Structure 1
Amino acid sequence: MNKIAQKMLHHKKGIVALFAVLAVLCALLSRRVKVDYNMMHYLPKDAPSTIALDVMEEEYSAKTANCRIMIEDAAIPEALALKKQLQQVPGVSEVMWLDDYANVYAPLETLDGDTVESWYKEGNVLFTCYVDEDDLYSHLMDIRAVVGEDAAMSGEAVNTGMATESTTRELKMVMAIALPLVFLILLLTTTSWFEPVLFMATIGVAIVLNMGTNLAFGTISFVTNAAGSVLQLAVSMDYSIFLLHSFSRFRASGMDVQDAMSHAVKDSFSSVTSSALTTVIGFAALILMRFRIGPDMGVVMAKAIVFSLLCVLVFLPCLAVLCYKLIDKTQHRSFIPTFRGFSYFVMKVKVPVLILFILLAVPSFVAKDRIDFAYGSSEIYGDASTQIGADAIRINEEFGRSNQIVCMVPRGDTAREKALSDAFKTIPEVTEVLSYTDTVGSSIPEEYVPKTQRELLISEHYTRMVISTSVGVDGEIPFAVATQLRETAQEYYPDAYLIAGEAVNTLDMRDTVTEDDIVVNGIAVGAIFLILLITFKSLSLPAILVFVIESAIWMNLAVPYLTGERLNYIAYLIINTVQLGATVDYAILFTNKYLENRRENSRWHAARITVRETVVSILTSGSILCIAGSMLGALSTNGVISQLGYLVGRGAVLSCCMVLFVLPTCLCLFDGLVQKTSLGLRFEKNY
């Protein structure tokens, strides 16, 4: 490794120039990477609702509504005029209103009251329409220009389209605030004003390389796009710190700059690569998810850590050697205390902390499985703090929740179609069924039916029923209704029906991601346990380390249960693997130092020394991860990204506390077991 480092440093100018060129190229390529904001696109290809959507897209040109628009205080002529304007908006089709179901030119008192109030209530008008998914944000802005700022808009298209603009803007805000704070932390924890510049440049290049190479996938998910750069910055910054600290140590021993750096690369290679490997495993476990946001994020983030590792071991050594004079000229005194008093404090409170840990760990394990989960995109902007959430609340309060589900059955048997339609209507939550047999009747030849109605309801092989329900798309009641609709269709058309719609898609998402939970977490824990087993050549140490970090994860996930927060399951799944992979490094660092100190000291004394020696590194890495996650949580209006950010930030704090306060006691209590179950590990002072 030393010879490789020497050869690499011999070509340092060329290597730095190469990385600079690649960074510029990848920065340009990153602009061509598309971002998908629709979670439903990541359902497995074999999910029933996915199959139904694929068939419906092939069979029908007319689309089902994905947007609701409410206009307040509008007369019927004004509503009809607005409808015509909406039909002219590019990307907008299938605009539906009361006039599609009743004669609005007749006195309203003569019409069916329930039908009228579904579309026109106390002077408020409700339109439904389909908005093309291509260039959604632009189409929504065109709609807003027609209906005015006071109108309320909601639905899947609005959630997806507005996320496109807001996520990009908010991510820039996150980085604009997080980067200076991270830079400040690095200034305080180093002894050179210039070293933080090298750290930021190295990870910055790694981030840009990762973003540019995402073009190979064509499209990435909005979760990966929003959280990827922030997480890469947070979890891989300490690799650079390890290397430059080692470089400083070898220089202090009297070596010249190039020799010191080559020895630093060799010295830090093992710790940096093992640290990166556990993080890669954590992200790579997501690849096994059937819900494809997992593989999307897993591949991109595993690649991100590889790029960070490559930049730290190749780019940073060359850059640091070229800039060592600036490092020397910008030296400053250390701002970090010795933490001697803190290490004594940790040892003093070890018993009450251990008792508190035991009291919290078991209830947290139980609580994490009792969280009220959300599975789809309907509640990403679910509260009134955003315009999307406020608009949805206004529409739901005035017209009630509405959720359209489409059922397709083989065409030809009109009597059975009518029977199925009538059966759907008996379900209490079904407010309306729009079908060919209901609206046209079986006695009228198809050629006499208006083309728009034919295209909406019948195709070459199927007839379609549009079922409106009074419930939302996510939760036990919507899932129960979707299940009942499937069971009813199965009764009349055994294994020959297809059902699609946001509620059905979300139900399939729930079934998919809950199946993923056991597999993904099991693989992540098992793989990291195996790496620790190989690293420490011990059966007990991996169990202790994984248990300590897993306990921090349980406590982190218990918070939403205790606060009554509805947690998106995607954030839950991702944090399980991310927190384990990103923060188990703290436990590895601490344990390595403890074993080193334990060879010459008693167990409690070794633990105290280790706390003092590792606290700066652990707090530096943990605080960066906490700041990055917390900024993502605080500034993102996207519910999934915001929740994931808060989980990451809180998880970093809990993992740091567990490693600094609980792990020392665990290592001391199981000192004898560790010796008996570890290969070649024996301590002289067994007390």
Structure 2
Amino acid sequence: MDRIFNAFLKHKKSVFIFFVVAAVICASLVPFVSINYNLADYLPKDAQSTTAIRIMQEEFDTKIPNANVMIDNISVQEALEYKEKISSVEGVVSVIWLDDMIDRDILTTTPLAFLDRSVVDHYYKDNSALFRITIKSGMEAVTVKAIYDLIGEKNAASGNAVNAYTTQGLAVTEVLNALAILLPIIIVVLILSTTSWIEPLLFLIAIGVAIIINMGTNVIFNEISFITQTISPILQLAVSLDYAIFLLHSFNQYRNTHQPKEAMVIAMKRALSTVAASAATTMIGFFALIAMRFGIGSDLGLNLVKGIAFSFISVMIFLPAFTLLCDKLIDKTKHRPFLPRFQKLGNGLMKIRIPLMILALIVVVPCFLAQSQSHFLYGMESVTGTSRAGKDADKIEQRFGKENMLVLLVPKENTGKEKELCDDLSSLPPITSTVSYVTAVDANIPSPYISEEILKNFYSKNYARILMYTNTAAEGDDAFSAVQSVMDTAKKYYDSYFLAGESATLYDMKNVVSVDTMVVNLLAI
């Protein structure tokens, strides 16, 4: 190894230039990394909500809505015109409004008081129109911005797509906020634990180069999640910083008795096995994430494994070369140690090591039981609560009430069975209304007598679609209980059925992650 280490140090300027150029190139590639803000895309392909969405995409023209737009002080005719404007926005796949539930001629010629209020009130209430929109995945940023420009500040927009758009802005802001808190703390700790003012800068530059290279090389993936994009740089910094500390600590020890280059070679030899073992242990832990069925695990795991590998290479090759280039600067910026030696404290702890071990074993049991009672949130509502998306969601809720849509797909058989199912669904406490062919039209009216525009909202070649509105939040015990109740009810009538909607997706996410957590913990142990 001496020959390899000496070769790197002999060409230290070339090594330094190579890593700097690589970092610059990778930094320029970061904007081209495709970021996915839709967590539902990471559910297993066989998850029932994923299957439901796929069936709807294949068999129905109108997709499941992922955004709501409320326009105030508007007539029915103006709402129909507004629907056309929203439909023309780039990225809008479909817009559902009252004319999709009630024939357009009837809607424009019949007073609203004579129409079914249980249907009308979901789309038009107190001179406000609520449009349910489907925005193409990956187009949230462009489309939501265009919709905001169209509706102005006084009207409101909410839903998953709007939350995704808001999260894109928050992701960058939150990372910068985290770094603004983390970096000063790290710098203070490094200054206190080193004997040169310049050494903390060497640590941060070495790991920073590795982080930039890791972020830039993400272009090799088709896309990464926004969670990976925001979390991995901070985790990589926190996990791999000690590699650099160990190497330079060894270098400072040997530098008192050896020339700088010789001292660095010895330090590299000494640090190699320790740093490699630490990096390998960390990488194995992150590899365990790949076993998760929820795709975020493999997405984050692969990214962090790659990041740790780059950190290891940067610390063992770039940092030694960079340190020798700054050798004279390190000498000029020497300062006295700020922290005392902790030998007495260490000796004291060794004397009470058995009581401390017993205490740790006692504490670990209640801590393990306590962590099992933790409650997790899987949706975006808590993230966007203070943004315009959160405030707009409150406006819509105040006008139209708390409303959470579920879409049930069942085999297209006979309307009699479908009506019995809808009656049972309507009797479930969380469901405020059910909209289907048999409720919005009539089970006794043959479908050939109904316009194709209305019919296609409820029937495809193989499936019947039933829309349900609940008064629960998107996630939580009440929402998940409602999802389970709907599936239990559908099971009484049909052998196969599929449920879509935000709550259904989060319900699947919760179940998948619960199993994944146990698997990853077992593998990590």
User: After TM superposition, is the score higher than 0.5?
Assistant: yes
Write the distance in 1 (CA, Å) between the matches of 2:404 and 2:433: 11
Deviates more, 1:467-476 or 1:174-183: 174-183
Please point out which of 233, 252, 256 is paired with 1:252: 256
**CA distance change for structure 1 residues 233 and 219 in 2, over 3 Å: closer, same or farther?**
same
Write the distance in 1 (CA, Å) between the matches of 2:482 and 2:476: 10
Give the conservation status (yes or no) of the 8 Å contact 2:77–2:108. no
Q: How does 1:466-481 map to 2 (within 5 A)?
A: 466-481=467-482
What is the Cα deviation at residue 509 of structure 1?
1.2
Write the distance in 1 (CA, Å) between the matches of 2:56 and 2:322: 56
Structure 1 residue 151 and structure 2 residue 152: aligned? no
Q: How does 1:380-419 map to 2 (within 5 A)?
A: 380-381=382-383, 383=385, 385-419=386-420
Give the conservation status (yes or no) of the 8 Å contact 1:159–1:380. no
What is the Cα deviation at residue 191 of structure 1?
1.7
- Cα deviation code 1:256-298 (max 9, x no counterpart): 1221111000111122122222222222221111111111111
1:44 is aligned to 44
The letter of the residue matching 1:153 is A
Give the conservation status (yes or no) of the 8 Å contact 2:91–2:142. no
**CA distance change for structure 1 residues 340 and 256 in 2, over 3 Å: closer, same or farther?**
closer
**CA distance change for structure 1 residues 69 and 250 in 2, over 3 Å: closer, same or farther?**
same
**CA distance change for structure 1 residues 433 and 378 in 2, over 3 Å: closer, same or farther?**
farther
2:121 is aligned to 117
Q: Secondary structure at the match of 1:31?
A: helix
1:299 is aligned to 302
Write the distance in 2 (CA, Å) between the matches of 1:87 and 1:354: 66
Q: How does 1:418-429 map to 2 (within 5 A)?
A: 418-429=419-430
Q: Secondary structure at the match of 2:383?
A: coil
Structure 1 residue 285 and structure 2 residue 305: aligned? no
Write the distance in 2 (CA, Å) between the matches of 1:134 and 1:452: 28
2:27 is aligned to 27
Please point out which of 187, 195, 198 is paired with 2:199: 195
Please point out which of 327, 341, 353 is paired with 1:324: 327
Give the conservation status (yes or no) of the 8 Å contact 1:286–1:295. yes
2:95 is aligned to 95
Write the distance in 1 (CA, Å) between the matches of 2:201 and 2:370: 43
- Cα deviation code 1:637-663 (max 9, x no counterpart): xxxxxxxxxxxxxxxxxxxxxxxxxxx
Write the distance in 1 (CA, Å) between the matches of 2:273 and 2:259: 23
Structure 1 residue 14 and structure 2 residue 14: aligned? yes
Q: How does 1:111-260 map to 2 (within 5 A)?
A: 111-176=115-180, 178-253=182-257, 255-260=258-263
**CA distance change for structure 1 residues 360 and 77 in 2, over 3 Å: closer, same or farther?**
farther
Q: Secondary structure at the match of 1:27?
A: helix
What is the Cα deviation at residue 242 of structure 1?
0.8
Give the conservation status (yes or no) of the 8 Å contact 1:82–1:146. no
Structure 1 residue 370 and structure 2 residue 369: aligned? no
What is the Cα deviation at residue 243 of structure 1?
0.6
Q: Secondary structure at the match of 2:381?
A: coil
Write the distance in 2 (CA, Å) between the matches of 1:69 and 1:348: 68
What is the Cα deviation at residue 181 of structure 1?
4.4
- Cα deviation code 1:78-124 (max 9, x no counterpart): 54454343233222243334454463664444444444433344444
1:568 is aligned to none
Deviates more, 1:200-209 or 1:389-398: 389-398
Q: Secondary structure at the match of 2:40?
A: helix
Give the conservation status (yes or no) of the 8 Å contact 2:167–2:384. no
Write the distance in 2 (CA, Å) between the matches of 1:212 and 1:368: 36
The letter of the residue matching 2:395 is R
Segments of structure 1 that go 5 or more residues without pairing to the other structure are 526-687
Write the distance in 2 (CA, Å) between the matches of 1:447 and 1:91: 33
Write the distance in 1 (CA, Å) between the matches of 2:500 and 2:255: 66
The letter of the residue matching 1:301 is L
Please point out which of 298, 310, 315 is paired with 2:313: 310
Structure 1 residue 524 and structure 2 residue 524: aligned? yes
1:506 is aligned to 506
Q: Which has the higher helix share?
A: 1
Give the conservation status (yes or no) of the 8 Å contact 2:30–2:219. yes
Write the distance in 2 (CA, Å) between the matches of 1:514 and 1:346: 39
Give the conservation status (yes or no) of the 8 Å contact 1:63–1:456. no
1:379 is aligned to 381
What is the Cα deviation at residue 328 of structure 1?
1.9
Write the distance in 1 (CA, Å) between the matches of 2:55 and 2:98: 29
In the superposition, the TM-score normalised over structure 2's length comes to 0.89
- Cα deviation code 1:592-611 (max 9, x no counterpart): xxxxxxxxxxxxxxxxxxxx
Give the conservation status (yes or no) of the 8 Å contact 1:433–1:466. yes
The letter of the residue matching 1:421 is C
The letter of the residue matching 2:162 is V
Write the distance in 2 (CA, Å) between the matches of 1:150 and 1:458: 36
What is the Cα deviation at residue 324 of structure 1?
1.6
The letter of the residue matching 1:369 is S
Aligned CA RMSD, in angstroms, stands at 2.9
Write the distance in 2 (CA, Å) between the matches of 1:291 and 1:300: 15
**CA distance change for structure 1 residues 196 and 112 in 2, over 3 Å: closer, same or farther?**
same
What is the Cα deviation at residue 230 of structure 1?
1.1
Write the distance in 2 (CA, Å) between the matches of 1:484 and 1:188: 59
Give the conservation status (yes or no) of the 8 Å contact 1:159–1:377. no
Q: Secondary structure at the match of 1:514?
A: helix
Write the distance in 2 (CA, Å) between the matches of 1:15 and 1:358: 48
Give the conservation status (yes or no) of the 8 Å contact 1:6–1:262. yes
Query: Between the two proteins, what is the percent identity of the paired residues?
Result: 40
- Cα deviation code 1:594-631 (max 9, x no counterpart): xxxxxxxxxxxxxxxxxxxxxxxxxxxxxxxxxxxxxx
Segments of structure 2 that go 5 or more residues without pairing to the other structure are none
Give the conservation status (yes or no) of the 8 Å contact 1:287–1:298. yes
Write the distance in 2 (CA, Å) between the matches of 1:180 and 1:364: 30
- Cα deviation code 1:529-554 (max 9, x no counterpart): xxxxxxxxxxxxxxxxxxxxxxxxxx
**CA distance change for structure 1 residues 111 and 444 in 2, over 3 Å: closer, same or farther?**
closer
Give the conservation status (yes or no) of the 8 Å contact 2:166–2:387. no
Write the distance in 2 (CA, Å) between the matches of 1:441 and 1:100: 15
Q: Secondary structure at the match of 1:62?
A: coil
Write the distance in 2 (CA, Å) between the matches of 1:447 and 1:110: 25
Q: Secondary structure at the match of 2:32?
A: coil
The letter of the residue matching 1:83 is K
2:67 is aligned to 67
1:337 is aligned to 340
Q: Secondary structure at the match of 2:407?
A: strand
In the superposition, the TM-score normalised over structure 1's length comes to 0.70
Deviates more, 1:37-46 or 1:391-400: 391-400
Q: Secondary structure at the match of 2:410?
A: strand
Write the distance in 1 (CA, Å) between the matches of 2:339 and 2:83: 66
